[in-house]
A and B are shown apart, each in its own frame.
Chain A
């Protein structure tokens, strides 16, 4: 079983602060996705990264895929209360036949 470790597990910050969270594995992934999940809802896709070293930006969110395709980071600039939620990373291990492996998630709280 290939595991995705997300850190930190919980993060509480003040509005306007910057933050970086991580998704790490000892295994190689053919692609990696970041999702955001609100309470009582399903995960909503934020980004998919597929190339080692790839950087993608989505407004104030910056996603990076590690060169070796084993890890990823999410950086949020000037966090807002609307960023509050559960951030999940998910990867498709090489040869996994479309089966996604999920991390346990990072619970982010942004205080006004």
Chain B
């Protein structure tokens, strides 16, 4: 997973606050994917973005969650009004082209108190 950077690595929020998770893909990669890993669960797909476009957001909750991948800068996963159930590890992956191998970052561990 060298190359995909995520920050912060750990994030603590109180219920009702906002959480912003950042992902910088590998150099040259324009496809970004976000996954969530709950305790004792496998990784679940949330959203797939290409520069300035959301390609597939079928795994993302309709409320409070949003994602963007601007022309310049990292991809952002934003969670508004966090609840305890949002506590999880959030992973970002990137690929060079659509359908090619995805390389994962180290994740952001979100804890909602």
Contact A41 B107, CB 8 Å, known A98-B33, A101-B45, A103-B42 = yes
Contact A98 B101, CB 8 Å, known A44-B1, A104-B41 = no
Set A33, A42, A99, A103: member contacting B45, Cβ < 8 A: A99
Mask, B53-88, CB within 8 Å of A = 1, is: 001101100000000000000000000000000000
Return the chain B residue nearest A4 by Cβ: B42
Set A42, A92, A99: member contacting B105, Cβ < 8 A: A42
For this complex, into which size category does the number of interface residues on chain B fall? 20 to 34
Q: Is A98 a contact of B98 with CB atoms below 8 Å?
A: yes
Return the chain A residue nearest B40 by Cβ: A104
Mask, A84-112, CB within 8 Å of B = 1, is: 00001010100001111111110000000
Q: Is B1 a contact of A43 with CB atoms below 8 Å?
A: yes
Q: Is A98 a contact of B95 with CB atoms below 8 Å?
A: yes
Return the chain A residue nearest B95 by Cβ: A98
